[in-house]
Structure 1
Amino acid sequence: MNYTYSIGATLLAYLVGSLSFAVIVSKVVGLKDPRSFGSKNPGATNVLRSGNKGAAVATLLLDCLKGWLLVVLVKWYGSAYGLGDGTVALVGLAAFLGHLYPVFFHFKGGKGVATAAGVLLGISWVLGLATLATWLIVAYFSRYSSLASLAAAVFAPLYYLFGDRAAWYVDKGILMVLFAISALLLYRHRENISKLLKGTESKLGAAKPLGKQPKKAGK
């Protein structure tokens, strides 16, 4: 491993991950800051609560892209610079941590589901699609986005582990990063877990209040 290039790639991944597209997209299209309403989480689900589906889709795709991009760049071109699976693991983790703790937004980021999905797709499209299928199945039957995310977080590292020699060869560094991402996703969903246990978690399609709207002049 070339440590200079590896550190540089990891730092770049963190900076790219720190781009909070929920906030950026909302500002560009003239929506309220997603950190000010609903769950106050800067993510695609909360942007959707604004009623702008296009902005929510754009946020989802861009958050996924920033997790995928640096991982595949290292996979495709890293060998020429002495970068291997160890750097792939570091870059994926750095992009994910950038989303959770973005340097450009006072280290207050989202929960990281879309960015984690991008990292998984970058590591292996089979792994990414298997995890996405898990999310879709759980979301379809339960109607809980948070429960689907929790299930996907738990199963992703297990899919990677048990897919050894069948779909890929397990790298210990990547496996450790996947377990770390899984643990962080569970931690970031701790409030959702509490609400699920209490039966107060919002289901898909259920609106949350956007907060107080400014009073109109003359009223």
Structure 2
Amino acid sequence: MTLLIWTVLGYLLGSVPFGIVITRAMGLGDLRQIGSGNIGATNVLRTGSKPAALATLILDSGKGAIAVLLARWLSGDDSAAQLAGLAAMMGHCFPVWLGFRGGKGMATFLGTMLALAWPVGLLCCATWAVAFAISRISSVGALAAVASAAPWTLVLGRTDLTITSLILTFVVLYRHKENIARLRAGTEPRVGKKS
């Protein structure tokens, strides 16, 4: 029952569409009608507002981290923390409030991994930064970071997180399937261009 409660709470926390809330509050329009229509920070950046994009990035990553930390703190159970993080990711990617059409999960993924095991999370962030710096394509950074998560858990001896990291990775890969198709076609846009 406790695990179920944390799963539900994690999902509800993750399902808050901060990108939409922030862009509407700042008078930037309906984010779902801008650029890719995605609700994450990369698409918020396409509105031309860096502060809005930064706020979205922080809040989307924060909801994954908060779900994990609250579950760990209040339950004392690492299984509850992992479930809460997984549920927050599912809430972000498939929010009931938006007809289960949410974000792609990268910021929430990083926040979740940082809260579960900060060394693994930092290495995922570093992987993202290197891949993005080379490509200037957000999805390349995202795909590299999530693909590195499970290997980093093995390298750092956090095998208790390997299965969770693999599930998170597959969710992000699934949400990036259109990006992967565009990367193969050579039509994936670079960050900084308005759509």
Q: 1:71-86 residue pairs with structure 2 within 5 A?
A: 71-79=68-76, 84-86=77-79
What are the ranges of 5 or more consecutive residues in structure 1 without an aligned counterpart? 209-219
What residue in structure 2 maps to residue 170 of structure 1?
Answer: 159
Whether 1:35 and 2:32 are equivalent positions in the alignment is yes
Tell me the alpha carbon deviations over residues 98-129 of structure 1, each in whole angstroms, 9 at most, x when there is no partner.
Answer: 00111122211000000011100110111111
Take 1:187 and 1:94, find their aligned partners in 2: how far apart are those partners?
16
Tell me the alpha carbon deviations over residues 4-46 of structure 1, each in whole angstroms, 9 at most, x when there is no partner.
Answer: 2221111111001010101111111111111112111111111
Take 2:12 and 2:99, find their aligned partners in 1: how far apart are those partners?
13
| Counterpart residue identity of residue 36, structure 2 | S
What residue in structure 2 maps to residue 195 of structure 1?
Answer: 182
Aligned partners of 1:68 and 1:118 also within 8 Å: yes
What are the ranges of 5 or more consecutive residues in structure 2 without an aligned counterpart? none
Flag the structure with larger Rg: 1
| Counterpart residue identity of residue 96, structure 1 | M
| Counterpart residue identity of residue 190, structure 2 | K
| Counterpart residue identity of residue 205, structure 1 | G
Aligned partners of 1:34 and 1:43 also within 8 Å: no
What residue in structure 2 maps to residue 213 of structure 1?
Answer: none
Whether 1:204 and 2:191 are equivalent positions in the alignment is yes
What residue in structure 2 maps to residue 102 of structure 1?
Answer: 95
What is the number of residues matched between the two proteins?
195
Aligned partners of 1:47 and 1:56 also within 8 Å: yes
2:8 alignment partner, one of 8, 11, 17: 11
Residue 76 of structure 1: how far off its partner (Å): 2.9
SS at match of 2:159: coil
2:53 alignment partner, one of 53, 56, 59: 56
What residue in structure 2 maps to residue 114 of structure 1?
Answer: 107
Q: Which has the higher helix share?
A: 2
What residue in structure 2 maps to residue 125 of structure 1?
Answer: 118
Whether 1:21 and 2:18 are equivalent positions in the alignment is yes
Take 1:155 and 1:132, find their aligned partners in 2: how far apart are those partners?
10
Residue 87 of structure 1: how far off its partner (Å): 1.3
What residue in structure 1 maps to residue 44 of structure 2?
Answer: 47
What residue in structure 2 maps to residue 185 of structure 1?
Answer: 172
| Counterpart residue identity of residue 194, structure 2 | A
Residue 207 of structure 1: how far off its partner (Å): 2.1
TM-score, normalised to structure 1's length?
Answer: 0.86
Take 2:39 and 2:99, find their aligned partners in 1: how far apart are those partners?
13
Take 1:206 and 1:26, find their aligned partners in 2: how far apart are those partners?
18
Residue 206 of structure 1: how far off its partner (Å): 2.1
Residue 198 of structure 1: how far off its partner (Å): 1.2
Take 1:89 and 1:30, find their aligned partners in 2: how far apart are those partners?
36
Take 2:67 and 2:82, find their aligned partners in 1: how far apart are those partners?
11
Aligned partners of 2:45 and 2:192 also within 8 Å: no
Residue 132 of structure 1: how far off its partner (Å): 0.4
Whether 1:67 and 2:56 are equivalent positions in the alignment is no
Aligned partners of 1:15 and 1:95 also within 8 Å: yes
Take 2:58 and 2:151, find their aligned partners in 1: how far apart are those partners?
25
